Homo-oligomer: A and B are copies of this chain.
């Protein structure tokens, strides 16, 4: 009972600190946020922060890589559910918007970009576990369709890049620049999807 309780206590403290840190980092940026503010919001003490995370950078690391959800599996689910390519892409688009324009995600990306100026490796690790996975997932999806006899205008890797660029990249750039962005309307999404389907040779 000792270990479990101990672990529970530590975990709860860890989570409280990380939650406070994430909130403050995304509100004010990394450098402007002081450990004092974090402790003030999370309760506990400075000493605990240093015990759990080593230093301020360690805390940022923990916050950013907390839940690196893999986009690869997400996409595989959609690709394997038997719908036509056109319909699969239509449903996938909504998920991508959810994923790439989520304010929490966007805020995190901004922090990573800010930090990447000083620590290039930090950004590389982040994007390899997020955007890269999504792109790879899309690429595999297109490749599987091609193997099943679907005729595509262009190689799978190009289509994956283009799909992401066409559907979300410009809005993501906007979101990153402005902090938030309005969810695109259904019509707007639909227009882009149809555009992609024509370009890829997938009109029905």
Q: Footprint of B on A, CB under 8 Å?
A: 26-29, 31-32, 110-114, 116-118, 120, 123-124, 126-127, 131, 153-154, 158, 161-162, 164-174, 176-179, 188, 191-192, 194-196, 198-201
Instruction: Tell whether, in the assembled complex, residue A195 and residue B191 are in contact, meaning their CB atoms are under 8 Å apart.
Output: no
- Closest B residue to A155 by CB, please name it: B191
> Which of A153, A162, A178 has the most chain B CB within a 10 Å cutoff?
A162
Report 23 cross-chain contacts, Cβ distance below 8 Å, ordered by A residue. A26-B117, A28-B118, A29-B114, A32-B117, A111-B117, A113-B176, A113-B177, A114-B117, A116-B178, A123-B177, A124-B177, A127-B174, A127-B178, A154-B195, A162-B195, A165-B165, A165-B168, A165-B169, A166-B166, A176-B176, A195-B199, A196-B199, A199-B199
Q: Which residue of B is nearest A180, CB measured?
A: B120
